Amino acid sequence: LSDVGITIIRKCNYNNYLLVIYENTNIDIIKPDGTIINVSDIKRKSITGQKTINDVYFIGKYAYLACGFGIVVFDFDKLEVKDTYYVGSSARNYKIYQITKNDTAFVVASDSGIYYGKFTANLTNTQYWKPLNTGLPKGPYNGIVNVNGKLFANYSMFLKSGQYYQDTLYEFTASNSWLRVNGLVPNTYR
């Protein structure tokens, strides 16, 4: 391996490559034959915002890296960065903690709420990322998942104020608003 301080290891089902991400945003790609390819683009680049990689979401040959400054799209066929999406405003890029999708758009959890960008839009332009915050408290969301067609988002009280065990889970409803989910906190976290 080319670095130390691994924070994320994920397998890409498209080609069975292993994606190894380090604290300093260096990336190794391990092919099934054991060949290691280093991709240091994010590590080497001067970036406005927090230079971290928080999570990875795969769709086909692409890995979408949820970063402290936006989203980096990595192409596994070309083994290179394809695009960078900045979610936020011209004044500030939001920290992206997690990415998922529904039938028409990417949906992201950020330090400023939940946002979506339609697949058909030019997602490199911040104006095409829209808030999806109806019914949600303002603040940081560190998780977003699509489970059987239903979106769930986690409001992080820890990111907001450092309080442990106070997060709140929300479900996106058919009426296009968020509803607090009760009773889903495991006993170990109470």
> CA 62 → CA 14, 56, 167, 189, distances in Å?
9, 10, 31, 34
CA atoms within 13 A on the CB side of 49: 25
The candidate with the shortest Cα–Cα distance to 106, out of 137, 61, 73, is 73
The tens-digit pLDDT sequence of the chain (190 residues) is 999 999 999 999 999 999 999 999 999 999 999 999 999 999 999 988 899 999 999 999 999 999 999 999 999 999 999 999 999 876 688 999 999 999 999 999 999 999 999 999 999 999 999 999 888 988 899 999 999 999 999 999 777 777 777 789 999 998 888 999 975 554 444 3
What is the reported pTM? 0.90
The amino acid that residue 57 corresponds to is: Y
Cβ-contact 61, 68 below 8 angstroms: no
**How far is it, in rounded angstroms, from Cα 49 to Cα 3?**
22
